[in-house]
Chain A
Amino acid sequence: MKSSMKGRVAIIQFPGVNCEYESADAVRSIGLEAGIFRWNEDPALLDDCAGIILPGGFSYQDRIRAGVVAAKDRIMDSVSELARRGKPVLGICNGAQVLVESGLIPGIHWEKVDLALAPNVMADREGYYCAWVHLRKEKGGCLWTRRYFDGEIFPIPIAHAEGRFVTEDERVLAEMKSRGQIALRYCDPAGVVVDSFPVNPNGSVDSIAGVSNVEGNVLAMMPHPERSTWLRQVPEDIGGQWGRSRRAAAGEAARMEDEGPGRRFFAALREGKGVDAR
């Protein structure tokens, strides 16, 4: 069945993803329309969508390597072309792995694989790791982070086994830094980047949590903003302002539906610029 995406945010549903519906809900939370778009639908229907989200999960069951099979899918021909023309594209977790394996991120050399999201490296453990961590918004021209102010610190959940940004080519890392493509870094609650577990939860080079393309319209991030879109999703025992807000809202159903720390990634799709300072 064909579904028009005109004016809507298209959530690409590859076989095996599992965050498409909550990503759509997160888009709706900021007043935009969202639609689930199956990987085998006519990609021409994406042309007039408002933006594209590659959600989290396990596309193609993570076969061979997380994200790589989806990266070769024909729908990614269209996603790549639309991204090149400036369409906003957000890859969350497995979606970030798809963007990295597609070469859309970092996109210094378009469609060239310049990065990997490698298995986590953690102290005294291996494999899947699930926790709330803190992010620091870095300076740069990323569309998706434009509603956070530079240096803003906020909590957000991660849940992955292969989230370690790494590159063999030091020049790529230097270029990403010089062009302001490192959009998000893991940090402690005070905003200090500590390059060791658990502050850096997966061993990412330079504590990188999210990378944008050169133009800023494509972002690959390992943390899950759709799981922190409402205040009710924030753990009660987390520190800082978000924890205080969450505890203050306990027992008040209406307040629990207030904005959570991840919602502004989606709010970035609304027209207009500037920071929605809390």
Chain B
Amino acid sequence: MKIPVELWVRLKVMDLVAQTARITLAEKLNFADRLRGITRYWYWGMEAEGADEKNIVEEIDRAIRLDGAFTNQNKHLYRLAALGGPARGDLALEKDLSLAGGTAAGGGNLYAFDCLVREKRPDREIGFTERLNARIKGVTVSGMKHGEVWRLVVSASSEKAALADVERMLVSRSRREGLLLNPHYQQYEIIAATRVEAGKPAAGARGKE
């Protein structure tokens, strides 16, 4: 069988890169009143072919736990799962999201967008595919997508307005606009969008934590 598998990784400690992004977006690019939270993850998404889902996930888990190119358990939390299946690892994405909840400024709503930023050239994704396939047995991965996911939580009157702000935060079009990717060699896609309710578990769960 062939199934989609995702690996999410983030730091156990405070992520100073994400903090720098938050400060730059808030103080230098004037998003202070709308940007309510920012979290950064490393992301690998792939198609995996093997005997069954349990075997596929266990085999990839065994490999990535031993390979610091994917995760280093001294400093990372990770979550590995087939789409909709049980997760392995100790990273709870839903908990991250509910922690982002708070009071939206000006009576607006809070929206969270998971934005995958990847390089346009596939070299690194090819490299990760080869690296993983060399370390797993009875399972083959393909269709690798690798990059950073920026989870941006914004306050806005509507999801459409929130998405417009997120796009302005993402794409560096000029010195005064955009930060998180340079469109001349990087691209992005929104892989999840969620309305966040303060103090409640977030809706739109991605698999079981």
Q: How many residues of A contact B (CB 8 A)?
A: 32
Residues on A with beta carbons closer than 8 Å to the beta carbon of B21:
63-64
Partner of A118, one of B172, B175, B184: B184
Nearest residue (CB) in A for B25 is A72
| A227 smallest CB distance to B (angstroms) | 27
Which residue of chain A is the closest to B16 with respect to CB atoms? A63
User: With an 8 A cutoff between CB atoms, is A94 at the interface?
Assistant: no
Complex partner residue of B20 from A69, A74, A115, CB under 8 angstroms: A69
* B72 CB to nearest A CB, Å: 17
Q: Is A193 an interface residue (CB 8 A)?
A: no
Q: How far is the CB of B125 from chain A (nearest CB, A)?
A: 12
Interface centre among B17, B29, B183, B184 (most CB of A within 10 A): B184
Mask of B170-200 contacts with A, CB within 8 angstroms, 1/0: 0011111011111111100000000000000
B127 CB within 8 Å of chain A = yes
**B135 CB, nearest partner CB in chain A, Å:** 19
Interface: A71 (CB within 8 A): yes
Q: How many A-B residue pairs have CB under 8 A?
A: 74
Q: Is the CB of B184 within 8 A of A76?
A: no
Contacts of A72 in B (CB 8 A): 24, 28-29, 175-176, 179
Distance, CA A80 to CA B182, complexed state (A)? 19
CB distance from B156 to the nearest CB of A (A): 22
On whether the beta carbons of B123 and A121 are closer than 8 Å, the reply is yes
Contacts A64-B17, A69-B20 given: A113-B182 contact, CB under 8 Å? yes
Evaluate contact between B174 and A65: CB separation under 8 angstroms. no
How many B residues touch A, CB cutoff 8 Å? Answer: 26
Is A51 on the interface with B (CB-CB < 8 A)? no
A126 / chain B contacts, CB cutoff of 8 Å: 123-124, 127
Judge whether A103 is part of the interface by a CB distance below 8 angstroms. yes
Interface residue? B53 (CB, 8 A)? no
Q: How far is the CA of A115 from the CA of B17 in the complex (A)?
A: 23
Given A65-B182, A116-B182, A74-B28 contact (CB < 8 Å): yes
State the Cβ distance, A136 to closest chain B Cβ, in Å: 24
- A69-B24, A101-B172, A167-B184 in contact; A63/B17 too (CB < 8 A)? yes
Distance in angstroms from B14 CB to nearest chain A CB is 13
Q: In whole angstroms, how far apart are the Cα atoms of A68 and B180 in the complex?
A: 9
Task: Scan A44-84; emit 1 where CB is below 8 A from any B CB, else 0.
Answer: 00000000000000001101110011011110100010000
B175 partner, pick from A64, A65, A113, A166, beta carbons under 8 A:
A113
| 11 extra A-B contacts, CB within 8 A, seeds A119-B119, A168-B183 | A63-B17, A64-B21, A72-B28, A111-B176, A113-B172, A115-B184, A116-B185, A118-B184, A119-B185, A126-B127, A167-B184
